[in-house]
């Protein structure tokens, strides 16, 4: 028997009940028909309806993506991680005080997934944005884990270009997490004069994220001169899109990818990092990040990038559980080899047919 003891913060958020508006057709990409392959591979139960609490005030049923009262969340959707993305959305809605005020921006590289999202959340406020893999394929170098090389991992670099100009701020979330607190609390976090906010981990060995070639070249290592760079996980970020657009941060990130690709193409000896889409963010933002409470990213629950071994929670309160690393809870649960904390992800999983009721037997 495995016993999982939840901290008080994990037990104190009753499910929010909600009914969301469906009067958004003019602002949504026309729903495509899921391919037979997607249908055959995935079947999701419909989530229960959720509605705003009374203190949220009046709900605007025909609110558009530009409504200033909305909380904006961006998540990628792909076949490999779709089950995780659906669970993440479910967790956000379940714990939100005002779920009707949340607008999801889904980034995709295939057109067959929108109908599957609708099947789980018929009245969800969302819009789908197509990210062309060719946009970054030529900039991606090999990584320690093949999943980190997928082009859609780099879509977060282009949020300021893809989302409507009226969207001034967005929360970016990975697909392998669940939120167990009201996401509006994270949304209200002040960034001050910073462009990106995220939990920082200054005790981590920052040097390991870059190669010996990087640190031995004064021109490259000098990037961090005058900064106190700390590691932060790009799977949970608040982004000020107004500042991002003003200072052209997409181009700055792409430039570092070009430097890396140039070195990698020279036989590997010129590489400046090994770990996917994270290092370019560190190069541009480390030392200039608005710190957010660690409770908003209890990361590393998927273990390392090779073995994916089980890990415990970090000390302190928990608002978000993140299975970063190679071990994913749905894979471990299906294989009958779960880690203890995977039991905290399972309640948000909508994968599979609805269980039979007494009336339907």
Strand 196-198 to 236-240 pairing: antiparallel
H or E element at residue 333: helix 329-334
Q: Using the 8-state DSSP alphabet, how is residue 119 labeled?
A: H
Share of the chain above pLDDT 90, in %: 70
Q: What's the pLDDT band for 165 if we cut at 50, 70, 90?
A: very high
Q: 43, 353 in Cβ contact below 8 A?
A: yes
Q: Any idea which of 43-47, 54-58, 161-165, 255-259 has the lowest mean pLDDT?
A: 54-58
Mean pLDDT value of segment 210-215: 94
CB 84 within 8 A of CB 175: yes
On the CB side of 20, CA atoms within 13 Å amount to 27
Tell me what pLDDT residue 145 has.
Answer: 55
The more confidently predicted of residues 27 and 229 is 229
User: Helix crossing, 278-285 with 249-264: angle to 10°?
Assistant: 130
CA distance 282 to 274: 13
Q: What is the mean pLDDT of residues 208-224?
A: 95
User: Which residues lie across from 171 on neighbouring strands?
Assistant: 73, 238
276 or 49, which is more confident: 49
pTM of the model: 0.86
Average pLDDT over residues 226-255: 97
Max mean pLDDT among 7-21, 49-63, 271-285 falls in 271-285
| Mean pLDDT value of segment 274-279 | 87
> 280 vs 157, 231, 297, CA distance in Å?
10, 12, 20
Indicate the SS3 state at residue 342: helix
- Mean pLDDT throughout 121-130? 95
CA 56 – CA 99 distance, rounded (Å): 9
Which residue, 211, 218, 212, 223, is CA-closest to 282?
A: 223
pLDDT of residue 95: 98
What pLDDT is recorded for position 309?
A: 85
Task: Give the pLDDT band (50/70/90) at residue 307.
Answer: confident
Neighbours of 20 (CB within 10 A): 23
Specify whether the CB–CB gap between 242 and 168 falls below 8 A.
Answer: yes
Beta bridge partners of 322: 177
Which tokens belong to 316? 């302190």
* Tokens, residue 111: 């057109």
SS3 251: helix
The confidence band for 58, taking pLDDT boundaries of 50, 70 and 90, is low
The helix (run of H) or strand (run of E) holding residue 83 is: helix 82-95
Name the 3-class secondary structure at 5. Answer: coil
């Amino acid at each position: 028997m495995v016993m999982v003891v939840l901290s008080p913060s994990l037990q104190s958020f009753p499910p929010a009940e909600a009914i969301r508006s469906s009067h958004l057709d003019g602002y949504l990409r026309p729903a495509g028909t899921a391919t037979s392959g997607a249908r055959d591979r995935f079947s999701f139960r419909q989530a229960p309806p959720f509605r705003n609490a009374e203190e949220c005030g009046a709900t605007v049923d025909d609110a558009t993506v530009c409504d200033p009262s909305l909380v904006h969340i961006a998540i990628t959707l792909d076949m490999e991680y779709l089950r995780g993305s659906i669970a993440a959305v479910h967790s956000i809605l379940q714990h939100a005080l005002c779920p009707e005020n949340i607008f999801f921006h889904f980034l995709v590289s295939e057109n067959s997934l929108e109908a599957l999202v609708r099947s789980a959340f018929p009245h969800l406020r969302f819009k789908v944005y197509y990210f062309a893999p060719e946009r970054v394929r030529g900039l991606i170098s090999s990584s320690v884990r093949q999943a980190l090389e997928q082009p859609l991992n780099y879509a977060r670099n282009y949020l300021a270009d893809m989302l409507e100009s009226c969207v001034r701020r967005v929360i970016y979330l990975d697909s392998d997490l669940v939120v167990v607190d009201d996401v509006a609390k994270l949304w209200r976090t002040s960034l001050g004069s910073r462009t990106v906010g995220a939990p920082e981990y200054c005790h981590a060995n920052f040097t390991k994220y870059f190669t010996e070639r990087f640190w031995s070249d004064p021109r490259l290592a000098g990037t961090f001169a005058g900064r106190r760079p700390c590691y932060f996980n790009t799977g949970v970020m608040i982004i000020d899109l107004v500042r991002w657009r003003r200072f052209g941060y997409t181009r700055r990130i792409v430039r570092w990818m070009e430097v890396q690709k140039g070195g990698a193409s020279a036989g590997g000896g010129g590489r400046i990092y090994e770990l996917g889409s994270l290092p370019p963010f560190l190069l541009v933002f480390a030392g200039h990040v608005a710190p957010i409470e660690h409770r908003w990213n209890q990361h590393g629950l998927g273990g390392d990038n090779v073995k994916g071994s089980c890990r415990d929670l970090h000390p302190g309160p928990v608002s978000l559980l993140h299975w970063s690393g190679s071990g994913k809870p749905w894979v471990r649960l299906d294989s009958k080899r779960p880690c203890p904390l995977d039991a905290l992800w399972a309640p948000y999983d909508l994968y599979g047919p609805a269980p039979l009721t007494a009336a339907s037997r």
